[in-house]
Amino acid sequence: MNFNTQLLHGKSVGAYSFGATLPSISQVSAYTYETSEQLEKVCQNRAAGFAYTRIGNPTVAAFERRICEMEGGFSATACASGLSAVVFSLLNILQSGDEIIASSGVFGGTIDVFRDLQNFGIQVHYIPYLSEENITPLLNDKTRAVFGEVISNPGLDVIDVSAVAAFVHTHQVPLILDSTTATPLLIRPLKLGADVVVHSSSKYINGSGNSIGGVIVDGGKFRWNPQRYPVLAEYKKFGPAAYTARLKNDTLRNFGSCMAPMNAYLNTVGLETMGLRVQKECENAYALVKALEQLPDVTVNYPLLETSPYQKLATEQLGGYGGAILSLRVGSKERAYRLMNHLKFAHIATNIGDLRTLVIHPASTIYIHSTEEMMHAAGVYDDLIRVSVGIEDAKDLIADFTEAIAHADEEAE
């Protein structure tokens, strides 16, 4: 089955009650049972069923099965937000004293929560880019994971997933990747050797910008040595399901960061059109990039450009797509603001992966809590605009940006 067919007819589709084409929304907190014995069995995982929506819910489970299939994973666990997916993918294996290595180009919110982890004795070491050369000097006997983004947002660095996975595995360290900006259409990192993939489903999976959510997809292949990962020791009996067993029975349940049933439903609906949307958004992004390159005093960054150090890797690894995010450097913050304020179709908003084209000035918004040094390491500058390209007609987007920059420069004169 090819991608768009699988989105509609994959093996995880179906078995919805009454032959419904979509899962029903189980908008309840709790499930009742005839006898206390039955509920006891469900609570002890000795019988299938649901007890309480924080712990599990049929609509959420239906979404988890869908995204798991599309990523080619072993199991998936939905979370309240993308950031909760990021942080619980790690807290599920870490304890105080552990260290992780991460690329400095990760999402601003991820940098913020990694700073919070330091208060719990978890040290995050940053490197400019995930590669054997950069990781090697930081590896030690406390290293418990390497974390990065397949296509960093908004730096647009592309990771060589197979190479990094193969290398970290020689040190018994798992590779955990945030694949939000890449989506399963461009890449299935688990198939290239990554161990855990996380998504902010708020973005391309949902696609319409109508609900916050996240998901952790476990590849089920990494061997969690109980000496190195003592928190997983009691789950070792679950074999390849150890990571997910702890996530569902302990980490996520206890921290209470569950996905709402309504959001799971909206994400399932969104997922069905993800292939079409993301393809169109990538094509629009490329068309816009080609037009923006012609504008005066504008520098465009996009992985498929000849000027990007990642052109070859992106072309080979991302199925010919470059993603739907591009960035522009326009010389100054003032010029960036003037340009953005003149756009008619592209909305100023802090989101990506919407149907609508969105622009933002990351330095004054998403990276507001970062130092200038961290910002530059993440590829964020005072004159940088991030564009999340939508499904409008490319012609209109090109005209919008072209006119906006002309007006912005007139206004300055």
Ligand X SMILES: *Cc1c(COP(=O)(O)O)cnc(C)c1O
Q: Which residues bind ligand X (CB under 6 A)?
A: 81-83, 86, 107, 109-110, 149, 153, 178, 180-181, 200, 202-203, 212, 214, 352
| Amino acid at residue number 83 | L
In the complex, the smallest distance separating the C-beta of residue 385 from ligand X, rounded to whole angstroms, is 16
In the complex, the smallest distance separating the C-beta of residue 360 from ligand X, rounded to whole angstroms, is 11
CA gap 138, 146 in Å, rounded: 10
In the block, which residue shows the tokens 């973005």? 203
In the complex, the smallest distance separating the C-beta of residue 378 from ligand X, rounded to whole angstroms, is 11
Please check whether residue 200 is in contact with residue 82, taking contact to mean a CB–CB distance below 8 angstroms.
yes
CA gap 62, 327 in Å, rounded: 36
Q: Which is nearer to ligand X, 214 or 261 (CB)?
A: 214
Q: Which is nearer to ligand X, 72 or 109 (CB)?
A: 109
Q: Which is nearer to ligand X, 83 or 285 (CB)?
A: 83
Tokens of 375: 């910002």
CA gap 254, 236 in Å, rounded: 19
In the complex, the smallest distance separating the C-beta of residue 325 from ligand X, rounded to whole angstroms, is 9
Tokens of 83: 């950031």
Q: Which is nearer to ligand X, 149 or 400 (CB)?
A: 149
Please check whether residue 63 is in contact with residue 259, taking contact to mean a CB–CB distance below 8 angstroms.
yes
Q: Which is nearer to ligand X, 65 or 203 (CB)?
A: 203
CA gap 378, 383 in Å, rounded: 14
CA gap 307, 242 in Å, rounded: 43
Q: Does residue 174 have a cis bond before it (omega within 30 degrees)? A: no
- Give one DSSP letter per residue of 16-76, joined into a string: -GGG-SS------SB---SSHHHHHHHHTTSS---SBTTT--HHHHHHHHHHHHHHT-SEE
In the complex, the smallest distance separating the C-beta of residue 263 from ligand X, rounded to whole angstroms, is 10
In the complex, the smallest distance separating the C-beta of residue 352 from ligand X, rounded to whole angstroms, is 6
Q: Which is nearer to ligand X, 57 or 81 (CB)?
A: 81
Q: Which is nearer to ligand X, 42 or 390 (CB)?
A: 390
Tokens of 396: 């209109």
DSSP structural state of residue 229:
-
Q: Which is nearer to ligand X, 204 or 401 (CB)?
A: 204
In the complex, the smallest distance separating the C-beta of residue 285 from ligand X, rounded to whole angstroms, is 15
3-state secondary structure (DSSP) of residue 206: coil
In the complex, the smallest distance separating the C-beta of residue 241 from ligand X, rounded to whole angstroms, is 25
Q: Which is nearer to ligand X, 109 or 240 (CB)?
A: 109
In the complex, the smallest distance separating the C-beta of residue 89 from ligand X, rounded to whole angstroms, is 11
In the complex, the smallest distance separating the C-beta of residue 301 from ligand X, rounded to whole angstroms, is 16
Instruction: Please identify the residue of the shown chain whose CB is closest to the bound ligand X.
Output: 82
Print burial letters for 317-340: b (CB count within 10 Å at least 16), e (below 16): bbeebbbbbbbbbbeebebbbbbb
Cα–Cα nearest to 54, from 34, 84, 83: 84
CA distances from 277 to 150, 246, 273 (A): 19, 34, 6
Q: Which is nearer to ligand X, 42 or 215 (CB)?
A: 215
Tokens of 192: 């290239």
Please check whether residue 49 is in contact with residue 186, taking contact to mean a CB–CB distance below 8 angstroms.
no
